[in-house]
Amino acid sequence: MKTIVVCSQKGGGAKTTLTALLAVEAERAGDSPAWIIDTDKQGTLSQWHERRQAETPQRAAVAFADLKAGVAAIRDKHNGVFCFIDTAPAITDQQAAIIALADLVIIPVQPSPLDAWAIGDTVEMVREAGKPFLFIMTKANAQANLTAQTIAALSHHGAVARTFLASRILYASAMAGGNTAPELQPKGSAAQETAQLWQEVKSHLRENENSRKRERQKRGKVVAHA
């Protein structure tokens, strides 16, 4: 099972929307079962899930003290394929403990200087944990210079997803009813970009896994020759 943590110290970056989108898209793409965990005290992801009529993705109601065991149970007892964890907009020891469980950390960023400036502490925490991370642009306009400028600034810190979530009212309105935009308009632009984004996230996971394998093999050869 792969655990994906969606994390950013700045609020309003569409963390919850992105978590829900990717979890539902995993199910739609056949990468199931997918699970979600809400660690934000505001409980927005949990409220969204309670409004859903669909049974998937499944949600695990796990207290923070039991989070590690909860993730393990999803993997071992429920045969989870992906687990998506939504987090609070903060930099705390609790956030560090959540990041420690991640196979990949996704950092959503809006195209603005304020958002770009605010990533520093999040990136530092993720790097200290030794976890791979991926920036994903949200609420973006492809034609705006500010979008290109923000992507350029982020690229100095780490990988930026080529696909981004455009500024669409449908994303928010779908969430209000316990859905995601692709579920309401399966052939629309939001569905296309969400599907492309999910494929890119999976590709990034594979690349990081392959990189770790090569590193282990390299270390093994060094030890063998010692």
Q: What is the pLDDT of residues 94-125, one digit of tens each?
A: 999 999 999 999 999 999 888 888 888 999 99
Q: What is the mean pLDDT of the chain?
A: 92
Backbone angles phi, psi at 102, to 5 degrees: -85, 145
Q: How sure is the predictor about 204, in pLDDT bands with cuts at 50, 70 and 90?
A: very high
pTM of the model: 0.92
Judge contact between 197 and 161, C-beta under 8 A.
yes
How far apart, in whole angstroms, are the C-alpha atoms of residue 110 and residue 153?
12
Number of neighbouring beta carbons within 10 Å of residue 77: 8
Distance of CA 68 to the CA centre of its chain: 18
Q: How sure is the predictor about 143, in pLDDT bands with cuts at 50, 70 and 90?
A: confident
Q: Which domains does the chain have, with CATH numbers?
A: 2-225 (3.40.50.300)
How far apart, in whole angstroms, are the C-alpha atoms of residue 150 and residue 200?
19
